[in-house]
Amino acid sequence: MNLAHAGGWDVCVIASPNGRRFIDVDALSAKTGHTVRSQYKEPDAPDILPPADAMIVAPITCNSLAKWAAGISDTLPLGLLIEAVGKREPVVAMPFSNWAQISFPAVHDAMRKLTDWGVTVLVGDDVYKQHEPGTGENYIHLFPWHLAWQALLSHPWHSQNK
């Protein structure tokens, strides 16, 4: 978020209902100046957030990767991600998971599909080493946010949407 702000971007945070458990909603709202949304709005309600020009979805779970690639939009973040791919908006996805989950065939299929559809998926030991199952809490502080930001700025659709 600091990198995006430094680059002059207006940042909004969307979290799944379960994802809210892992973030400080009040601190993020104060930092961005926007409400952290996690639920669909009523059809006739105005949107309280500006439309996105680009998205970084990180850290994303394997569950969300698989659902996204299957077109399941049962949460607001997934609905927005499905729509972003359809609108050809720049999207960078960076999973944070252990090597066993990342290695699951359906997750590999999901990442391949998303890549084929124009999403930049950053994963693998060349991005950061996938940790052992059950040890994620020891590595989350090492999450390379700067790589997601760099990938977004170099996304081929980025210049088309500016």
pLDDT of residue 151: 93
pLDDT band at 157 (very low <50, low <70, confident <90, very high): confident
pLDDT of residue 159: 59
CB distance 48 to 34 below 8 Å: yes
Beta-carbon neighbour count of residue 92 at 10 Å? 24
CATH number for the domain whose boundaries are 51-162:
3.40.50.1950
pLDDT of residue 162: 46
Residue range 66-78, pLDDT digits in tens: 999 999 999 999 9
Q: Which residues, 6+ apart, have CB-to-CB distance to 14 below 8 Å?
A: 36, 37, 38, 49, 76, 77, 80
Q: What is the DSSP string of the chain?
A: -HHHHHTT-----B--TTGGGGS-HHHHHHHHSS--B-SPPPTTSPPSSPPPS-EEEEEEPHHHHHHHHTT---SHHHHHHHHHHHTT--EEEEE--BHHHHTSHHHHHHHHHHHHTT-EE--STTTSPPBPTT-GGGTGGG--HHHHHHHHHT-TTTTT--
Residue 158 has pLDDT above 90, yes or no: no
What percent of the chain is predicted at pLDDT more than 70? 98
Mean pLDDT of the chain: 92
Residue range 29-42, pLDDT digits in tens: 999 999 999 999 99
Segments making up each domain of the chain, as ranges: 1-39, 51-162
Residue range 97-133, pLDDT digits in tens: 999 999 999 999 999 999 999 999 999 888 888 999 9
Residue 44 has pLDDT above 70, yes or no: yes
pLDDT of residue 5: 85
What HEC string does 17-49 produce? CCHHHHCCHHHHHHHHCCCCECCCCCCCCCCCC
